[in-house]
């Protein structure tokens, strides 16, 4: 670990959490004489990074979660109080209704813990949107009030994207907490029972893999085959696709990297694995991210770093003053954490890019 990063680690309390993260990321590149992310984009004729359209509305419904995962970039947990209000959710619906957006991607925390979650899903479904819910699985079996979620998802033709760090209990529990694997398996069985992941059902169940350490995910296709074989053999569980997603060096995962002295090596690995094809296809180019308080961001990661969309009229940074053309015309804000989305085969909310 460099002297500068050690110093930042010691002085963490002197910075706001966001300032600390941005300073550490900056030093992680500068101290190793690596090109900045902006420089890499310039070298590959992609700077400034611009949009290709506005297709996906990703909404963070709140930071409350029934889990506390070691890699969580949202720093979510049961004690978080940030929850999107019904008023802001209605503003999201109004924005969707007056745009060409046809995909609504709900995330958190655990989005299901928002008290207005079911109402919003039903309203988005009425707008003829494809609704994606990023479900942590264990929420389904956490409390009896959630037991009927599989049926609710089915009724509203929701596409489920669920994180399962590994097909082994040990690796999953080490990342997500004791007992998470068993509860996740129970939830997957419940989803299979109503048709999710089953051939011909039309009900999509995708799984997400995140590395448990300071390394890039392996080949997505090969990993998917392993997951399908093991989950079918051991539990008779089926699913559609597996998304391999790179851990982005922010929030709780950044804390882990710095504390374990893996930060510099990880940043070097990301920067040296920069892939211009992946950079061209990053999710921020056709997605807008909405924070729990209604503010707009280029992506979920920029949201956690409080880097609001770059638009001249500051009112347009909030969903209540949503304007499609303003957002389509914007330049995307980039920083050193963006190396995580462009390393190797790339990484998006839908897995590999290149």
pTM of the model: 0.94
Question: Which residue in 224, 239, 252 sits closest to 187, CA to CA?
Answer: 239
Mean pLDDT of 253-259: 93
Examine the pLDDT at 263 and tell me if it is beyond 50: yes
CA dihedral sign, ordered 299, 305, 310, 313: positive
Examine the pLDDT at 174 and tell me if it is beyond 90: no
**What is the reported pLDDT for 201?**
97
Examine the pLDDT at 5 and tell me if it is beyond 60: no
Neighbours of 246 (CB within 10 A): 25
Query: 120 lies in a domain?
Result: yes
Examine the pLDDT at 8 and tell me if it is beyond 80: no
Examine the pLDDT at 14 and tell me if it is beyond 70: no
Examine the pLDDT at 3 and tell me if it is beyond 70: no
Examine the pLDDT at 15 and tell me if it is beyond 90: no
Examine the pLDDT at 155 and tell me if it is beyond 50: yes
**What is the reported pLDDT for 7?**
47
Examine the pLDDT at 258 and tell me if it is beyond 70: yes
Long-range contacts of range 261-268, CB-CB < 8 Å, 24 or more positions apart? 261/1, 262/213, 262/214, 263/1, 263/5, 263/24, 263/28, 264/1, 264/2, 264/5, 264/28, 264/31, 264/32, 265/214, 266/214, 267/25, 267/28, 267/29, 267/32, 267/34, 267/336, 267/339, 268/32, 268/34
What CATH number should be reported for the domain holding residue 276? 3.20.20.70
Mean pLDDT of 285-305: 98
Examine the pLDDT at 4 and tell me if it is beyond 70: no
Examine the pLDDT at 300 and tell me if it is beyond 90: yes
Percent of the chain beyond pLDDT 90? 90
CA dihedral sign, ordered 326, 327, 330, 333: positive
pLDDT tens per residue across span 53-74? 999 999 999 999 999 988 889 9
Query: 352 lies in a domain?
Result: no
Place 159 in a pLDDT band, splitting at 50, 70 and 90. very high
Mean pLDDT of 163-181: 91
* CB contact at 8 A, 234 and 167: yes
Residue 143, token pair as written in the block: 């409390």
Percent of the chain beyond pLDDT 70? 95
What is the domain range of residue 154? Answer: 3-342
Q: Across the strands, what pairs with 59?
A: 106, 290
pLDDT tens per residue across span 70-107? 888 999 999 999 999 999 999 999 999 999 999 999 99
Query: 350 lies in a domain?
Result: no
**What is the reported pLDDT for 152?**
98
Examine the pLDDT at 354 and tell me if it is beyond 60: yes
Q: How many domains is the chain built from?
A: 1
Query: 181 lies in a domain?
Result: yes
**What is the reported pLDDT for 352?**
97
**What is the reported pLDDT for 69?**
87
**What is the reported pLDDT for 76?**
94
d(CA 330, CA 150): 38
**What is the reported pLDDT for 334?**
98
* CB contact at 8 A, 316 and 249: no
**What is the reported pLDDT for 200?**
96
**What is the reported pLDDT for 175?**
83
Query: 250 lies in a domain?
Result: yes
Average pLDDT over all residues of the chain: 94
């Amino acid at each position: 670990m460099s002297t500068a990063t050690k110093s930042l680690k010691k002085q963490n309390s002197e910075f706001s959490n966001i300032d600390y993260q941005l300073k550490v990321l900056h030093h992680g590149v500068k101290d190793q004489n690596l090109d900045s992310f902006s420089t890499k984009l310039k070298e590959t004729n992609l700077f400034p990074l611009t949009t290709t359209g506005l297709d996906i509305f990703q909404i963070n419904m709140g930071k409350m979660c029934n889990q506390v995962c070691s890699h969580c970039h949202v720093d979510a947990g049961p004690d978080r109080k940030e929850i999107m209000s019904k008023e802001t959710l209605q503003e999201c619906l109004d924005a969707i209704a007056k745009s060409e957006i046809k995909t609504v991607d709900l995330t958190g925390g655990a989005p299901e813990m928002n008290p207005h979650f079911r109402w919003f899903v039903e309203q988005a479904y009425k707008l003829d949107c494809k609704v994606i819910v990023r479900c942590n699985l264990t929420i389904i079996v956490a409390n009896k009030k959630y037991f009927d979620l599989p049926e609710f998802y089915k009724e509203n033709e929701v596409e489920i994207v669920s994180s399962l760090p590994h097909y082994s209990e040990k690796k999953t529990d080490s990342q997500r907490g004791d007992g998470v694997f068993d509860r996740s398996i129970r939830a997957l069985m419940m989803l299979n029972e109503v048709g999710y992941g089953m051939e011909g059902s039309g009900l999509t169940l995708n799984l997400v893999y995140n590395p448990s350490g300071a390394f890039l995910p392996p080949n997505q296709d090969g990993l998917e085959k392993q997951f399908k074989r093991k989950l079918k053999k051991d539990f008779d569980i089926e699913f559609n696709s597996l998304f391999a997603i790179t851990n982005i060096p922010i929030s709780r995962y950044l804390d882990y990297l710095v504390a374990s002295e893996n930060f510099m090596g990880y940043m070097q690995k990301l920067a040296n694995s920069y892939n211009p094809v992946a950079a061209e296809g990053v999710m921020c180019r056709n997605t807008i991210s909405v924070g729990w308080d209604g503010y707009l961001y280029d992506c979920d990661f920029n949201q956690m770093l409080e880097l609001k969309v770059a638009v001249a009229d500051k009112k347009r940074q909030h969903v209540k003053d949503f304007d499609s053309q303003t957002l389509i015309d914007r330049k995307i804000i980039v920083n050193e954490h963006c190396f995580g989305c462009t390393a190797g085969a790339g990484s998006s909310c839908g897995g590999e890019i290149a």
